[in-house]
Amino acid sequence: MLYLAVFLAAIASTQSSTLTVYQNGNQNGASVTFNSAVPTFNSYWNDKISSVYAQGGTWELYTNFNFEGSRMVAHNGQKLNAYHNDNYSSAKPVCSYVTNPAVSRLVVYKHYSSAGTSEEFNTAASTLPSEWNDDISSVYAMTCGLKKIQILDGDEQLKARYVGSEIIASQNAGSCSGKSAHSLYLTNGDTVEESTSIELSETDEVNWSTSTSVEVSAEAGFLGSGSEVSFGVSAEAGGSHSTTTTESKSFSEGTEKIVGLYVTYDTPGAALVLGIVDRYVVDPADVPVKLIMECPDGSEKIKDSTIKVKAVKYPSAHFWSAVGKFNQEACDQDWNLPDCVRRVRQDYADAKDIDAEKIRGAFEQCFANGKGTIGK
Least-confidence region, from 36-40, 92-96, 209-213, 260-264: 209-213
Q: List the beta bridge partners of residue 221.
A: none
The domains located in the chain, with CATH, are: 11-97 (2.60.20.10), 99-144 (no CATH), 151-374 (2.170.15)
Listed ranges 151-160, 183-192, 243-252, 343-352; the one with the highest mean pLDDT: 343-352
**Are the beta carbons of 262 and 225 closer than 8 angstroms?**
no
Higher pLDDT, 157 or 194: 194
Express each pLDDT in 64-116 by its tens digit.
998 899 999 998 889 999 988 999 999 998 865 555 555 566 788 888 877 88
Q: What is the pTM of this model?
A: 0.56
What whole-number distance in Å separates Cα of residue 258 and Cα of residue 254? 8
H/E segment holding residue 273 = strand 269-282
Phi then psi dihedrals of residue 323, to 5 deg: -130, 155
Average pLDDT, the chain: 79
What whole-number distance in Å separates Cα of residue 12 and Cα of residue 14? 6
What whole-number distance in Å separates Cα of residue 251 and Cα of residue 277? 9
